[in-house]
């Protein structure tokens, strides 16, 4: 029998779910978004693997990825309160997450992926708690962070690995976008991702300890790049 120590502190079945949910093959459309990096590359702000790791690191520490980590944690805790979770709290968090975006493109990025995550996860990894959350929300948009928090709680996945996996997936998707945009070689892309390891670990730990009312963002340049991307002449990505 494989022990939790041998599997890195997470049960094999739980690890399998995480690998599936945060794989690039999970059909939520993440590949079609660059979170403003497309315009940052266009204007020469991001040129190298070092530039890229610093840019993404800032988003992880101070931008949407940081807020999403805290919101994911709060959604997980709310969904874990009792059988069926705290429905009112979950809807409050869903509304907050939908509002907590600086631009139309990043709002679309979060809501479209969140809706797709709920749909695919209900179909492939069904659970009554996820069905109940989807039914309670009706046609309202659901941010990806909230959807992941609810699904992770429903399947009783350990929160810390979920946070790390989510932050890694966010960073890896932006690295993949930059590899296509700069262009950056595959090896340099992996160097950039390697540089982000301590950032992901730190942000995951900080998110666990951060109360929601102390959470905020400080990434105005990222928001500006996203706004200017809306009118960029040629675009490969939706954000």
Q: What is the pLDDT of residues 176-190, one digit of tens each?
A: 999 999 989 999 999
Q: What is the pLDDT of residues 219-233, one digit of tens each?
A: 999 999 999 999 999
Q: Does residue 237 register a pLDDT over 90?
A: yes
**Are 52 and 192 within 8 A, CB to CB?**
yes
For residue 112, the model assigns a pLDDT of 96
How far is the C-alpha of 229 from the C-alpha of 36, rounded, in Å? 6
Angle value at C-alpha 72, between 66 and 75, nearest 5 degrees? 145
How far is the C-alpha of 141 from the C-alpha of 101, rounded, in Å? 13
> Under 8 Å CB-to-CB from 86, ≥6 apart: which residues?
78, 79
- Say what percent of the chain tops pLDDT 90: 85
83: confidence class by pLDDT, cuts 50, 70, 90 = low
Q: Does residue 19 register a pLDDT over 60?
A: yes
Q: Which residue has the higher pLDDT, 204 or 84?
A: 204
Residues making up the chain, counted from first to last = 239
Q: Does residue 84 register a pLDDT over 80?
A: no
Q: Would you state the torsion angle of the CA atoms of residues 90, 91, 94, 96, taken in this order, to the nearest 10 degrees? A: -110
For residue 2, the model assigns a pLDDT of 36
Question: Which domains does the chain possess?
Answer: 39-224 (1.10.4190.10)
Q: Which residue has the higher pLDDT, 20 or 3?
A: 20
Q: Does residue 85 register a pLDDT over 90?
A: no
Instruction: Tally Cβ neighbours within 10 Å of residue 34.
Output: 27
Taking residues 145-169, what's their average pLDDT? 97
Q: What is the pLDDT of residues 91-115, one digit of tens each?
A: 999 999 988 998 999 999 999 999 9
């Amino acid at each position: 029998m494989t022990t939790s120590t041998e599997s890195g502190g997470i049960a094999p079945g739980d690890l399998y779910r995480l690998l599936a949910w945060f794989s690039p093959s999970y059909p939520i459309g993440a590949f079609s978004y660059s979170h403003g990096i497309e315009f940052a590359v266009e204007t020469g702000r991001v040129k190298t693997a070092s530039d890229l790791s610093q840019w993404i690191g800032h988003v992880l520490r101070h931008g949407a990825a940081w807020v999403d980590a805290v919101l994911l944690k709060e959604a997980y805790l709310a969904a874990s309160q009792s059988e069926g979770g705290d429905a009112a709290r979950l809807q409050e968090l869903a509304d907050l997450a939908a509002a907590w975006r600086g631009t139309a493109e990043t709002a679309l990025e979060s809501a479209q992926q969140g809706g797709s995550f709920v749909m695919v996860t209900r179909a492939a990894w069904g659970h009554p708690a996820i069905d109940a959350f989807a039914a309670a929300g009706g046609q309202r948009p659901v941010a990806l962070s909230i959807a992941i928090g609810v699904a992770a709680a429903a399947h009783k996945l350990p929160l810390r690995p979920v946070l790390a996996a989510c932050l890694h997936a966010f960073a890896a998707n932006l690295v993949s976008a930059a590899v296509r945009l700069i262009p950056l070689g595959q090896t340099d892309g992996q160097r950039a991702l390697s540089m982000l390891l301590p950032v992901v670990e730190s942000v995951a730990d900080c998110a666990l300890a951060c109360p929601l009312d102390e959470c905020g963002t400080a990434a105005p340049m990222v928001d500006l790049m996203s706004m200017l991307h809306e009118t960029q002449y040629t675009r490969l990505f939706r954000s």
